Amino acid sequence: MAARGSDWQATRDGEIEAPLPRRVDAPLVFIGRIRTPFATRDDCPRQGRPDGPLCRIEVDEPWRAGLRGIEAYETIEVLYFMDQARRDLIVQNPKSNGVLIGVFAFLVIPPLVREVASFVDRLPDLIVPFKRPVYEKVVQAFRDIAKA
């Protein structure tokens, strides 16, 4: 395990790496890129905001016809890979906060449900307004766990 320092790809305390597989079950094709004003990975916010900086999605030529009709929608979902993100970590220590979490449990963290519930109950105005309903639904779904 490497110590975290100036090497942003170093493994943080407690993180577990897995070798990347040689076989490919289904190919992943990148169809474009997102241009942002962020110069480094550390400059990127952990969560986006509707009032954040202007970013641009560029779709490569062979895929542009697939955008036909997209203007009819108010919002779209964009799935992306951050180009500098590690792909080999199966247990992560986000921002070295000491809470180790497997990549498949990254969005639902039972040990932190009480903290999230408390946060939502006490400080709802600090949650970005467009995300507030999602946070409230998650907390409601895990209310019993939060009381345990």
Q: What is the mean pLDDT of residues 126-137?
A: 74
Predicted TM-score (pTM) of the model is 0.53
Q: Do the domain assignments include residue 102? A: no
73, 96, 119 — which closes off a domain? 96
Residues 50 and 83 in one domain: yes
| pLDDT at site 61 | 95
Residues 63 and 29 in one domain: yes
CA distance 137 to 65: 36
Q: For residue 81, what is the domain's CATH number?
A: 2.40.30.70
pLDDT tens-digit series, residues 59-78: 999 999 999 999 998 888 88
Higher local confidence (pLDDT), 34 or 99: 34
pLDDT tens-digit series, residues 93-131: 876 667 787 877 765 544 455 555 555 555 555 667 777
Residues 73 and 127 in one domain: no
Residues 56 and 13 in one domain: yes
Domain of residue 7, residue span: 1-96
CA distances, 60 to each of 33, 55, 83, 96, 125 (Å): 8, 16, 16, 36, 39
Residues 90 and 17 in one domain: yes
